[in-house]
C-alpha cells in the first residue's frame, strides 16, 4: 500500500508555546532609500501569496554559551545580511498600472521569539507537510500577512526543551522563490558562522526577466488561456495529505513505462506524471474537460481528461517532458512580453482541474547552517490550493523519499489514494 501521512494522532500532541512580542529586525547599517520595480514575471497576480517554510535543528553541545542562543545568533545575522539584501527590509507598493515596486524603506523583517515545552523527538514528523501545528511555530502576527505595505519576511525562532530549535518563515512570493530564499539564508548562515559579508552578493534580476523592446510573443502560453470554464467548480471543503514516494514506489512506477522511457525519465517527471494522472481520475471530470499541468514557470501542458485518464502513464510522462524541454530563456522572455502586451493577465489555472507543481527537493534549504549543522528537516510547510511543493521527507539520509502534499475535496482525496496505491503496488 502506498504510504501517506495520517495527521490525526499528530494533532493530539499537547505542548505550550510562549511567544515574546514580535519585533522588526532592520538592516544593521543604513541602506539605500530607493524604489525597485519587480520584473514582469514576478509581478503576477498568481504569485501574490505567502509561502510558509519550516526547518528543525538539533542542539550543538560544542557551541559556547554565548553562541548557543539561536534567537540571538539568527537575529543578529539577519540584520547584517539585510545590509546586502536590503529590498527584503522594504515594503511593496502599487505603482502606475498596478505595477508592484519595492520601496526600500529599511523597516526590516518581522521576528517572533518563542519557547516551547516539547522536544524534537516528541515532534517527530509532526512538522512535515501538511504541518498540523504550523500556527504554533509560525504565528500570524496581526496585520503582517498583506501583500502591500507588510513585512516581506516573517521569521519565528522557537527554542525547544531539548535545546534544539525550529525556525519557521513566511515569504512573500513576489520577492523571490525558494532558491532566492536559500541565497538569503545562506548569507545569514555565513554571517552567523563568522563571515564579514556573504560570499554571494545579490543581483536585482528585473532587467533579465523584463519585456523586450518591442515586446513580442514567440511561445505558446496555455497557462494564460482565458477560455477557462469555471461553471462546474464546487465549493466543497478540501483536505490536505502528503504522499511519500520512496525507492519502492519509484521502482513500481517505472514498470508502467515502455523501455525507451523507463531509462530516461527523471524521478520528478515520473512522480509528476503519476500524480497528475491519479488526481485527474480522482476528480471525476467531464471526459472532454481540458486539464492543465504547469511545472512552475514552465510552459503548461494540456490534455482532455478522458485522454489523460485512459492512456498509459507514458502518455503523461511525455507531456511532462515536453513542458520541461520548452523551458529556456526564450520562453521566459516571451512570457515577460506576454505580460506586457496582455496587461499581466491572471493565470487561467484557477480551476480545480488544473495542477501546478514545484520541485523543492534540491533547493539547497537543507544545507543552511547557522552553527548547529544542517537541519533535520526543511521544506515548505503545506501545499497551496492547486499548487504542490515537493520536499524531502528527511535531510539526514543519503536516500530520501519525496513528499508530495496534495489538497483535494475529501471524496476525491480518498479516490486519489486508491488510484495511487494501484499505480505503486
* DSSP notation for 36-97: EEPPTTTS-GGG-SEEEEEEEE---TTS-GGG--HHHHHHHHHHHHTTTSGGGGSEEEE-GG
Q: How many domains does the chain have?
A: 2
Same domain, yes or no, for 57 and 12?
Answer: yes
Residue 158 lies in a domain: yes
The pTM of this model reads: 0.89
The pLDDT score that the predictor gives to residue 168 is 97
Residue 213 lies in a domain: no
Closest CA to 281 of 420, 143, 76: 420
Residue 45 lies in a domain: yes
C-alpha cell at 200: 554571494
3-state secondary structure of 174: coil
Same domain, yes or no, for 86 and 231?
Answer: no
Same domain, yes or no, for 85 and 229?
Answer: no
Degrees (nearest 5) of the Cα angle 288, 289, 294? Answer: 135
Among 204, 239, 270, residue at a domain's last position: 204
The pLDDT score that the predictor gives to residue 319 is 94
The pLDDT score that the predictor gives to residue 27 is 98
Among 353, 387, 408, residue at a domain's last position: 353
Residue 425 lies in a domain: no
CB atoms within 10 A of CB 163: 17
The pLDDT score that the predictor gives to residue 337 is 82
> Which own/partner pairs from 189-194 qualify as long-range (CB within 8 Å, at least 24 positions apart)?
189/77, 189/368, 189/369, 189/370, 191/77, 191/80, 191/81, 192/73, 192/74, 192/76, 192/77, 192/370, 192/371, 193/369, 193/370, 193/371
Segments in the chain below pLDDT 50: 1, 5-10, 230-234
Among 326, 353, 380, residue at a domain's last position: 353
Same domain, yes or no, for 143 and 274?
Answer: no
Degrees (nearest 5) of the Cα angle 122, 126, 130? Answer: 175
The pLDDT score that the predictor gives to residue 7 is 40
Same domain, yes or no, for 14 and 147?
Answer: yes
Same domain, yes or no, for 302 and 193?
Answer: no
Residue 211 lies in a domain: no
Same domain, yes or no, for 237 and 169?
Answer: no
Same domain, yes or no, for 274 and 335?
Answer: yes
The pLDDT score that the predictor gives to residue 1 is 43
Same domain, yes or no, for 293 and 184?
Answer: no
Same domain, yes or no, for 232 and 192?
Answer: no
- E strand or H helix at 115, and its extent? strand 109-116
CATH of the domain at 269: 3.30.559.10
Residue 312 lies in a domain: yes
C-alpha distances (whole Å) from 215 to each of 47, 346, 408, 425 are 22, 19, 38, 50
Q: Give dist(CA 201, CA 184) in Å, integer.
A: 9
Q: Which domain holds residue 171?
A: 8-204
Same domain, yes or no, for 185 and 275?
Answer: no
Same domain, yes or no, for 120 and 265?
Answer: no
* Helix locations, 284-385, DSSP H: 305-310, 313-325, 329-342
Residue 400 lies in a domain: no
Residue 70 lies in a domain: yes
Are 407 and 240 a contacting pair, CB within 8 Å?
A: yes
pLDDT tens column, 380-418: 998 777 789 999 988 876 778 999 999 999 999 999 999
Are 376 and 396 a contacting pair, CB within 8 Å?
A: yes
Amino acid at each position: 500500500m502506498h504510504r501517506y501521512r495520517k495527521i490525526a494522532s499528530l494533532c493530539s500532541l499537547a505542548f505550550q508555546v510562549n511567544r515574546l512580542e514580535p519585533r522588526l529586525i532592520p538592516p544593521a547599517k543604513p541602506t539605500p532609500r530607493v524604489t525597485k520595480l519587480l520584473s514582469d514575471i514576478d509581478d503576477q497576480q498568481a504569485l501574490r501569496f505567502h509561502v510558509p517554510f519550516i526547518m528543525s535543528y538539533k542542539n550543538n553541545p560544542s557551541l559556547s554559551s554565548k553562541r548557543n542562543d539561536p534567537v540571538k545568533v539568527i537575529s543578529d545575522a539577519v540584520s547584517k545580511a539585510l545590509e546586502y539584501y536590503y529590498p527584503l527590509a522594504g515594503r511593496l507598493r502599487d505603482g502606475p498600472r498596478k505595477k508592484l515596486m519595492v520601496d526600500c524603506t529599511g523597516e526590516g523583517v518581522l521576528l517572533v521569539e518563542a519557547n516551547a515545552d516539547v522536544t524534537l523527538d516528541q515532534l517527530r514528523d509532526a512538522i512535515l507537510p501538511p504541518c498540523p501545528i504550523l500556527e504554533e511555530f509560525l504565528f500570524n502576527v496581526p496585520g503582517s500577512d498583506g501583500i502591500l505595505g507588510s513585512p516581506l519576511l516573517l521569521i519565528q525562532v522557537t527554542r525547544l526543551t531539548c535545546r534544539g530549535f525550529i525556525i519557521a518563515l513566511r515569504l512573500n512570493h513576489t520577492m523571490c522563490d525558494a532558491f532566492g530564499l536559500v541565497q538569503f539564508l545562506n548569507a545569514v548562515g555565513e554571517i552567523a558562522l563568522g563571515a564579514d559579508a556573504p560570499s554571494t552578493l545579490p543581483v536585482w534580476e528585473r532587467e533579465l526577466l523584463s519585456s523586450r523592446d518591442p515586446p513580442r510573443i514567440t511561445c505558446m502560453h496555455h497557462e494564460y488561456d482565458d477560455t477557462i470554464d469555471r461553471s462546474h467548480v464546487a465549493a466543497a471543503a478540501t483536505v490536505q495529505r502528503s504522499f511519500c514516494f520512496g525507492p519502492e514506489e519509484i521502482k513500481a512506477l517505472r514498470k508502467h513505462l515502455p523501455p525507451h522511457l523507463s531509462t530516461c525519465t527523471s524521478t520528478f517527471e515520473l512522480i509528476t506524471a503519476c500524480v497528475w494522472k491519479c488526481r485527474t481520475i480522482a476528480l471525476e471530470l467531464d471526459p472532454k474537460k481540458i486539464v492543465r499541468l504547469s511545472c512552475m514557470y514552465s510552459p503548461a501542458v494540456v490534455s482532455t481528461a478522458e485522454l489523460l485518464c485512459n492512456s498509459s502513464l507514458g502518455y503523461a510522462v511525455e507531456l511532462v517532458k515536453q513542458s520541461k524541454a520548452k523551458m529556456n530563456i526564450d520562453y521566459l522572455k516571451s512570457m515577460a512580453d506576454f505580460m506586457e502586451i496582455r496587461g499581466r493577465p491572471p493565470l487561467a489555472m484557477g480551476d480545480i482541474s488544473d495542477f501546478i507543481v514545484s520541485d523543492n527537493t534540491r533547493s539547497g534549504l537543507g544545507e543552511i547552517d547557522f552553527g548547529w549543522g544542517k537541519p533535520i528537516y526543511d521544506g515548505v510547510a503545506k501545499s497551496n490550493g492547486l499548487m504542490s511543493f515537493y520536499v524531502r521527507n528527511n535531510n539526514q539520509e543519503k536516500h530520501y523519499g519525496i513528499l508530495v502534499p496534495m489538497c483535494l475535496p475529501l471524496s476525491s482525496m480518498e479516490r486519489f489514494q486508491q488510484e495511487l496505491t494501484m499505480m505503486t503496488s
